[in-house]
Amino acid sequence: MSQEQGLTPRAQDFSAWYNEAVMRAELADYSPVRGCMVIRPNGYAIWELMQGALDGMFKETGHRNAYFPLFIPQSFLAKEAEHVAGFAPEVAVVTRAGGKELEEPLVVRPTSETIIYASFAKWIQSYRDLPLLLNQWCNIVRWEMRTRLFLRTTEFLWQEGHTAHADEADAMRETRQMLGVYRRFAEEWMAMPVLTGVKTDTEKFAGAVRTYAVEALMQDNKSIQAGTSHHLGQNFSKAFGVQFQTAAGGLDYVWNTSWGVSTRMVGGLVMTHGDDVGIVCPPKLAPTQVVVVPIYRSDEERAAVGQVAERAVRTLKAEGLRVELDAREGMKPGAKYYEWEGRGVPLRLEVGPKDVAKGQVFAARRTGGKAPIALDGLVPGVRAMLEDIQAGLFRAALQRREANSRRNVTKDELIAMMDGPGGFAYGGFCGALECEEGIKDATKATIRVLPDEEFRSPSPPAQCVWCGAPSVSEAVWAKAY
């Protein structure tokens, strides 16, 4: 791909399109370190907006940020049996430091349950110390074999919430609450519709009692797990001795939850909204929401439109909008449009001599459509368009998902669907591991979630799509990232 050529069309090769779209927008770059990426300023700015929105929601729900060590003694990981089995194969290990071999190797955190609950054991004595509601923003390392920018990298950035509760009900309430926060973030900020539900045991977090997830369907009809919220029961508190004096005077182990979303979300944003020109940022997460481009042919025209363009930028910035003026000389407007479109800027305001004469700017939406906005109504006009773009992106993504979801599929339909267009396939599930694995072997599709009530079919299937035995739960299958 050169800057002059278009991107590979999505319909031709979605995976190539994705990489090109990310590179063209300068969101990220490959690094000299195997499987690691560089998050470039354009990509990091999206992540910062995501962080800001999520951090606000975490604090509103009573959580505080903290920071725990990057390194975890190998013996800690081993204290919870399922946990170590799940993570040991993919950890990076420090064996040498300060010029010496370490007595006990240190694992670079693949997740922080163990190191955090070791501290919880020191801090929690009584029911009065509960609930303890913490969150951590940090980097994570998991040695992945096949990596993709943002979607799967050896190192990634994320947040991990870790909480301790006096009883199971409170821990469950927290687990569901944070799933709701992720759903709200996905829908309201990313304009990305999600299914919520519980994972099967095969797909749950290593060490959790239950894992809940938000799942979104990408434009290639594969699903992305965009966030998870785990009910950990007393698995870790027993492994790390996190005990507390109950209100009744007894001694009990705390109930833990953990929940996280990562820079993978940036990949989800790209694959939800991008088009063949490049990425499309939902206005609420767009580092630049509006770009103003003056258009002129003479110095005289330049002076006139320049003044109006600058004033428009000042006015919009004063209202807290994220605006750039592109007054670069020696570059044609079309080339500028192309660049800003590739970066996904949702709204472009063109200011030409005719616009100045009419007291207006001409607004072009990244998602299509052009209309003038009167200068004396610039702020409300721009705000309305941005809100409309945000809402339109969500609507389009929801429509696409529903158009690519099929309910009550038969075995043959499930196979045909996963062999062909993909999408979300709803069907009955008997709960047996054999059926889950049989389907995976035959179709590469996995159960993304056993959907929450809201997402279940009006008349849920009575039989397992695979074996015909009575269904214990409706399930949603898809191929996944």
The site for a copy of itself (CB under 8 A) is made up of 29, 31-33, 36-41, 44-45, 47-48, 64-73, 76, 89-99, 105-106, 108, 115, 118-119, 122-123, 134, 138-139, 141, 143, 145, 155, 157
Q: Which is nearer to a copy of itself, 64 or 358 (CB)?
A: 64
User: d(Cα 451, Cα 201) in Å, to the nearest integer?
Assistant: 14
Q: Which is nearer to a copy of itself, 28 or 181 (CB)?
A: 28
- Where residue 241 falls (left for φ over 0; alpha for ψ -120 to 50; beta otherwise) is left
**CB of residue 100 vs a copy of itself: minimum separation in angstroms?**
9
DSSP track, 266-280: HHHHHHHH-BTTB--
**CB of residue 389 vs a copy of itself: minimum separation in angstroms?**
24
**CB of residue 446 vs a copy of itself: minimum separation in angstroms?**
22
| Residue 261 contacts residue 160 (beta carbons within 8 Å) | no
**CB of residue 385 vs a copy of itself: minimum separation in angstroms?**
26
Q: Which is nearer to a copy of itself, 110 or 392 (CB)?
A: 110
Q: Which is nearer to a copy of itself, 106 or 192 (CB)?
A: 106
User: d(Cα 227, Cα 212) in Å, to the nearest integer?
Assistant: 8
**CB of residue 59 vs a copy of itself: minimum separation in angstroms?**
10
**CB of residue 479 vs a copy of itself: minimum separation in angstroms?**
24
> Residue 160 in 3-state DSSP?
strand
Q: Which is nearer to a copy of itself, 48 or 82 (CB)?
A: 48
DSSP H or E stretch at residue 452: none
**CB of residue 274 vs a copy of itself: minimum separation in angstroms?**
21
**CB of residue 122 vs a copy of itself: minimum separation in angstroms?**
7
Q: How far is CA 272 from the centre of its chain?
A: 11
Q: Which is nearer to a copy of itself, 4 or 412 (CB)?
A: 4
**CB of residue 139 vs a copy of itself: minimum separation in angstroms?**
6
Q: Which residues pair with 164 in a beta bridge?
A: 132, 256
| Residue 288 contacts residue 268 (beta carbons within 8 Å) | no
In the block, residue with structure tokens 């303890």: 132
User: d(Cα 41, Cα 50) in Å, to the nearest integer?
Assistant: 14
Q: Which is nearer to a copy of itself, 44 or 426 (CB)?
A: 44
Q: Which is nearer to a copy of itself, 199 or 264 (CB)?
A: 264
| Residue 392 contacts residue 367 (beta carbons within 8 Å) | yes
User: d(Cα 401, Cα 193) in Å, to the nearest integer?
Assistant: 8
**CB of residue 55 vs a copy of itself: minimum separation in angstroms?**
9
User: d(Cα 77, Cα 432) in Å, to the nearest integer?
Assistant: 30
Which tokens belong to 36? 């690691």
User: d(Cα 380, Cα 399) in Å, to the nearest integer?
Assistant: 28
Q: Which is nearer to a copy of itself, 147 or 443 (CB)?
A: 147
Which tokens belong to 337? 């449009």
User: d(Cα 429, Cα 143) in Å, to the nearest integer?
Assistant: 33
| β pairing state of 473-478 and 210-217 | unpaired
Which tokens belong to 372? 């003038």
Sign of the Cα torsion 146, 152, 156, 158 reads negative
Q: Enumerate the H helices of 287-423 as residue ranges.
A: 299-318, 333-342, 353-358, 378-403, 411-419
Q: Which is nearer to a copy of itself, 69 or 460 (CB)?
A: 69
Q: Which is nearer to a copy of itself, 37 or 217 (CB)?
A: 37
Beta strand residue intervals within 297-376, DSSP E: 323-325, 347-351, 360-365, 370-374
**CB of residue 142 vs a copy of itself: minimum separation in angstroms?**
9
User: Of 350, 214, 192, which is closest to residue 274 (Cα–Cα)?
Assistant: 192
